A and B are shown apart, each in its own frame.
Chain A
Amino acid sequence: MLTVEEISEIEAEGAHYPKRDALCIDALKIVQRHRGWVSDESVRDIAEHLGMSATDVDSVATFYNLIFRKPVGRHVIMVCDSVSCWIMGHERMREHLHERLGIKYGETTRDDRFTLLPIVCLGCCDHAPAMMVDSDLHSDLDPQKIDAELERYK
């Protein structure tokens, strides 16, 4: 069941669009903001609310990489693996994160603290390598800086 709050947020976005199904991505993002991820049940609930089939909603949900169809940790680390960051040492940052957190891309730490994902160029190429943790951008990374920044996320 979608909550009253979720429904009112979805409907507030709806005023901008001439068609109900145009709300699909916004609805997925709103539900994810409240619950951390989008479950099968949420897909069905959104579909029902927008008058779409669950398959249609899921085809949209699985297309977009910022919609999570699996549970994620309390904090999501997105590491830029595009070319400027690659030149400036992305592979070393990735290995450091794998080692420090004991997880690879697509995985979540056992204590549910971090999920680790690769991400498309973050537009921070003059301060590469870069990563985002939740909505914070971290740049000019080296292993020591990564360790220090991650301490801020409990």
Chain B
Amino acid sequence: MMATIEKPLTGNVLPDGTPLDLRGYEQAGGYQAIRRVLSGGMTPKAVTELVKNANLRGRGGAGFQTGLKWSFVPTGPDVPNPTYLVVNADEMEPGTFKDRFLMERNPHQLIEGAITAGFAIEADIAFMFLRGEYALAAERLSRAIAEAYERHYLGKNILGSGYSMELYLHLSGGRYICGDETGLLNALEGKRANPRAKPPFPVVVGLFGKPTVVNNVETICCVPHIINHGAEWFHGLSKTKDGGTKLYGVSGKVKRPGLWELPMGTTVREILEEHAGGMRDGLKFRGLLPGGSSTPFIVEEHLDTPMDFTEMPKAGSRLGTGTMIVLDDQTCPVGMAWNMTKFFARESCGFCTPCWSGLGWAERILRSIEDGQGKPGDLDKLAFQAKMWSPGNTFCALAPGAADPLETSMKYFRADFERHISEQRCPWR
């Protein structure tokens, strides 16, 4: 049982890759949290308070306090109906592969989390917004949702408690921008997924203009465990002030790329060297993006930083999704920056000028540098563009997220950029 408690999110997943089914989930203590809450053990406010005390911070990357977000939802008899819960299962941040694992391997955990979160915010309807490419997750979640309905964990008068919530699985039509919470709401409304201006925030004016909480998959999966074991226990899982465990991943040319549930605040070095086994033989470490391709590069000197929401900014970066992408010395940093900028340019929704215009421009400059046609002054142009993508100049975080890796790659690997221009070629090709 200890293993389960140390790794609440993944301790019960089956090693053969099949999903934990309803019986298996219940035998491992599943659906006890909603039984406890719905049998009158806790009020919605008490659930919110508990999650707030646990200091559960949003695992989608922004790190907003989950309990605090819930507490902003208007409740009581005069609230506009319905209230919505939306599970953001639109995992598309390049380098991120954690939510797919949770959905494919333990779908009932996510469903129980959604019911508990729904109860806390007095939601009437919950949507799971799943990216269209996650076909296996869709199949397993659909089956699990049907099982949950059969057992009266969902629907009208759940377990005779008087609380009702419907849960629908929605498969997206594509596009990275749907992962932005307000872009996602527009997509759910059948529109183009252009992000909305904030305020008003979705907790007050969200889906179809009604109060809506949007939470990431991993965040929601933590909730039943907090109910079962308490806020103190959740704090105890972590090495730092941010509560809980975290799914950390490593991709790139390391010995053992993979995904591990570890205490929040595990250092970058421990994840990279002990869990991922360090660099492949013959390759040297140059830097990494700690949490997906929207987070700034960190380098050797930052490796002892604990990976959490509070400590990573001190290294000039962010925790993001906690799944790191490693750059080795045989891979061209300019090519990597070009790849990511091209991604952001393609995925821009086309609404804000600095984003749709600037990203395409920067992509063309990076391509020409990589193709051996860079000009003196190109790096200044790129720096100027990246500055134009700062928060506040655009509606959402896509362009600021594109600026972070570009600016830091030019900072840490400047000599490589300059060499491309002076030698008129990519030294790695």
Question: Which residues of A approach B to under 8 Å, CB–CB?
Answer: 16-19, 21-26, 28-29, 59-60, 63-67, 78, 81-84, 86-88, 119-128, 132, 135-137
Contact = CB atoms under 8 A, between A and B. Distances in A.
Contacts of A23: 190
A83 B340 contact: yes
Given A84-B95, A121-B94, A126-B257, A65 B339 contact: no
Contacts of A81: 339, 343
A25 B173 contact: yes
Nearest to B176: A120
Interface of B: 91-97, 99-100, 125, 127, 132-136, 166, 168, 170-176, 187-193, 208, 249-253, 257-259, 289, 293, 323, 325-328, 331, 335-336, 339-340, 343, 347, 349
Given A19-B208, A23-B190, A137-B136, A66 B94 contact: no
Contacts of B293: 82-83
A123 B99 contact: yes
Contacts of A86: 335-336, 339
Contacts of A24: 190-191
A143 to B, nearest CB: 19
A68 to B, nearest CB: 10
Contact of B336 (A87, A125, A136): A87
Dominant SS among interface residues on chain B: mixed
Contacts of B127: 16
Contacts of A127: 257
B177 to A, nearest CB: 9
Contacts of A120: 92, 94, 174-176, 343, 347
Nearest to B328: A87
B336 A83 contact: yes
Contacts of B175: 63-65, 120
A134 to B, nearest CB: 8
Nearest to B335: A86
Interface centre among A21, A26, A86, A128 (most CB of B within 10 A): A86
Nearest to B210: A18
A119 B92 CA distance: 10
A132 B190 contact: no
A127 B343 CA distance: 20
Interface centre among B94, B136, B336, B340 (most CB of A within 10 A): B94
29 contacts: A16-B127, A17-B189, A19-B208, A21-B189, A21-B190, A22-B189, A24-B190, A60-B192, A63-B349, A65-B173, A65-B175, A66-B173, A78-B133, A82-B95, A82-B343, A83-B94, A83-B289, A83-B336, A83-B340, A84-B94, A86-B335, A86-B339, A120-B92, A120-B176, A120-B347, A121-B93, A125-B94, A125-B325, A126-B250
A81 B174 CA distance: 15
A132 B331 CA distance: 25
Contact of A123 (B97, B168, B173, B289): B97
Nearest to B330: A87
A65 B95 contact: no
A136 to B, nearest CB: 8
Nearest to A20: B190
A28 B174 CA distance: 12
A123 B130 CA distance: 13
A24 B173 CA distance: 10
Nearest to B342: A81
B257 A125 contact: yes
Contact of B331 (A66, A82, A87, A135): A87
A123 B257 contact: no
Contacts of B166: 16
A125 B325 CA distance: 9
B250 A123 contact: no
A22 B188 contact: yes
A15 B208 CA distance: 15
A127 B253 CA distance: 11
A84 B259 CA distance: 14
A104 to B, nearest CB: 16
Nearest to B250: A126
A28 B190 CA distance: 10
B132 A125 contact: no
B132 A22 contact: no
A87 B258 CA distance: 15
